[in-house]
Amino acid sequence: MSSTAPAWGRYERLMPAEIERIHAAQPVAYLPWGALEYHGKHAAVGLDGLKAHGLCVQLAQAVGGLVLPPVYVAANTIKFAPGLNHKRHSLNFSEETLRILAREHFEQLADEQFRVVFTLCGHVGQPHYDIIKDEAAKFNATQSDTRIIATSETDLIDKDIVIVNHAALGEVSFLMHTDPDCVDLARLPADRVPTLEDDAVWGPDPRPSSAEKGATYAAAFVTSASKLIHETLKSL
Ligand SMILES: [Zn+2]
């Protein structure tokens, strides 16, 4: 690592002096927001948080700042999706709990004097995603010292590269890039295209997923998210 590399770290692993050094260099917090949710037989239930955390680490290496551990509390998971029968392997929390957790994370991180809190929603079930964005907007309206950014990877990446999906080509490639041991493509059906009803796959066929594709998606994410954070810091 060169002396010009941005200062960054994983918040929960650091002692106060290290946190203060990184905060002084770059007062940006990264808050990956995941879910414990069924993502088919071929992917770990923590996909959304693992993906968001891995992307935040890669982004922090480019921009600097402190990466929080993922929040694994989600509402609106596949467990209660109408017309589907994927009832196992998801922890589904209430929208009220989600709202409180979002608000209190923003308040506490502002109290720790972060100027930007980059909240990356790995789970974009609705209204889960809109609730986090709504709490961010409400918090931003109350003060001007801290800006909360609430977004998701697919909102930052060109739709020609990756589109919003569940356990499909995009998400699985991301996970193969960040946490390769959390994917097993051999558990996908070999003789037919996976479906939402049978396989919890929504979006492009995940069978050609690869770590290389995930790395390409992640690079596009880092380019776009870095720009957004730098612009936000400049606007303060
Ligand atoms: Zn997901």
If you measure from the C-alpha of residue 188 to the centroid of ligand 1, how many angstroms do you get, rounded to a whole number?
Answer: 16
Segment 35-79, tens digit of pLDDT: 999 999 999 999 999 999 999 999 999 999 999 999 999 999 999
If you measure from the C-alpha of residue 48 to the centroid of ligand 1, how many angstroms do you get, rounded to a whole number?
Answer: 5
If you measure from the C-alpha of residue 74 to the centroid of ligand 1, how many angstroms do you get, rounded to a whole number?
Answer: 11
SS3 annotation, the chain: CCCCCCCEEEHHHCCHHHHHHHHHHCCEEEEEECCCCCCCCCECCCHHHHHHHHHHHHHHHHHCEEECCCECCECCCHHHCCCCCCCCCCCECCHHHHHHHHHHHHHHHHHCCCCEEEEEECCCCCCHHHHHHHHHHHHHHHCCCCEEEEECHHHHCCCCCCCCCECCHHHHHHHHHHCHHHECHHHCCCCCCCCHHHHCCECCCCCCCCHHHHHHHHHHHHHHHHHHHHHHHHHC
If you measure from the C-alpha of residue 122 to the centroid of ligand 1, how many angstroms do you get, rounded to a whole number?
Answer: 6
If you measure from the C-alpha of residue 140 to the centroid of ligand 1, how many angstroms do you get, rounded to a whole number?
Answer: 27
Any idea which fold 8-156 has?
Rossmann fold (3.40.50)
Q: Is the pLDDT of residue 1 over 90?
A: no
If you measure from the C-alpha of residue 1 to the centroid of ligand 1, how many angstroms do you get, rounded to a whole number?
Answer: 32
What are the residues whose beta carbons fall under 8 Å from the beta carbon of 100, sequence distance 6 or more?
A: none
Q: Is the pLDDT of residue 3 over 90?
A: no
If you measure from the C-alpha of residue 72 to the centroid of ligand 1, how many angstroms do you get, rounded to a whole number?
Answer: 12
Q: Is the pLDDT of residue 2 over 70?
A: no
pLDDT the model gives residue 4: 82
Segment 107-159, tens digit of pLDDT: 999 999 999 999 999 999 999 999 999 999 999 999 999 999 999 999 999 99
> What share of the chain in percent tops pLDDT 70?
99
Segment 5-22, tens digit of pLDDT: 999 999 999 999 999 999
Please, which residues bridge with residue 28 across strands?
116
Q: If you average pLDDT over residues 177-197, what whole number do you get?
A: 98
pLDDT the model gives residue 36: 98
Q: Which residues surround ligand 1, an ion (CB under 5 A)?
A: 47-48, 171
If you measure from the C-alpha of residue 228 to the centroid of ligand 1, how many angstroms do you get, rounded to a whole number?
Answer: 23
If you measure from the C-alpha of residue 103 to the centroid of ligand 1, how many angstroms do you get, rounded to a whole number?
Answer: 22
Domain positions in the chain are: 8-156
In contact, 72 and 44? CB cutoff 8 Å: no
Average pLDDT, the chain: 97
pTM for the whole structure: 0.97
If you measure from the C-alpha of residue 145 to the centroid of ligand 1, how many angstroms do you get, rounded to a whole number?
Answer: 32
Band the pLDDT of 97: cuts 50, 70, 90.
very high
